[in-house]
Structure formats: structure tokens, C-alpha cells
């Protein structure tokens, strides 16, 4: 019983923490930094993936996949930092 109460307490604490993040905008410095990351990530990942593909490395496919996921993560952070994520949900 005690374990279940602690599990629910952890879940509710996490839910409240996340809901607080969803209702507030990040500071301008964070939005600017995320924007810079997003601006250069696409070009960097494209060039890195091209070089990996041409290199013939055995793990090139895995590394290309990591690069694509990093690019998607940077895009998602940019949308969140600039308030576009909440607008899309409306």
C-alpha cells in the first residue's frame, strides 16, 4: 500500500512540474540559444550524414539516425521556446 502511495505521489509531482513548464515561457536567453542551435543543426546534420554515408563506416546508418533525431529534437525545442508548440495544440 505504501509503495502505491509513493508511486502515485511521484506521478502527480511529475505531472504538476510538467504543467508548470507548459504554462510559462522560457527566458529570452534560452529562446535565443535554442534558435541559434536550430539555425545551424540542419546544415550540420546534413553534411555529417553525407560524410558518414560516403565513409562506408559499419555504423553509419546508426549515426545518421542519431543525427536525424538530434535535428528533430532541435526543431521541437525551437517550437517550444518560441511558443509555437502551444499554438499548434490549440
Q: Tens digit of pLDDT for each residue in 22-51?
A: 567 888 888 888 888 888 998 999 999 999
Does any domain span residue 36?
Answer: yes
d(CA 36, CA 83): 16
Does any domain span residue 73?
Answer: yes
| pLDDT computed for residue 8 by the predictor | 72
This prediction's pTM: 0.59
Range of the domain at 54: 27-89
Quote the DSSP letter at residue 1.
-
Domain count for the chain, please give it. Answer: 1
pLDDT band at 69 (very low <50, low <70, confident <90, very high): very high
| pLDDT computed for residue 89 by the predictor | 54
Does any domain span residue 62?
Answer: yes
Does any domain span residue 82?
Answer: yes
Does any domain span residue 32?
Answer: yes
Does any domain span residue 79?
Answer: yes
Q: Which three cell numbers stand for residue 47?
A: 553534411
Amino acid at each position: 500500500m505504501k509503495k502505491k502511495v509513493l508511486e502515485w505521489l511521484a506521478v502527480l509531482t511529475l505531472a504538476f512540474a510538467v504543467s508548470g513548464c507548459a504554462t510559462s515561457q522560457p527566458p529570452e536567453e534560452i529562446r535565443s540559444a535554442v534558435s541559434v542551435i536550430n539555425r545551424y543543426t540542419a546544415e550540420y546534420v546534413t553534411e555529417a550524414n553525407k560524410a558518414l554515408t560516403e565513409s562506408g563506416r559499419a555504423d553509419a546508418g546508426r549515426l545518421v539516425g542519431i543525427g536525424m533525431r538530434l535535428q528533430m529534437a532541435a526543431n521541437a525545442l525551437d517550437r517550444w521556446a518560441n511558443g509555437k508548440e502551444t499554438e499548434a495544440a490549440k
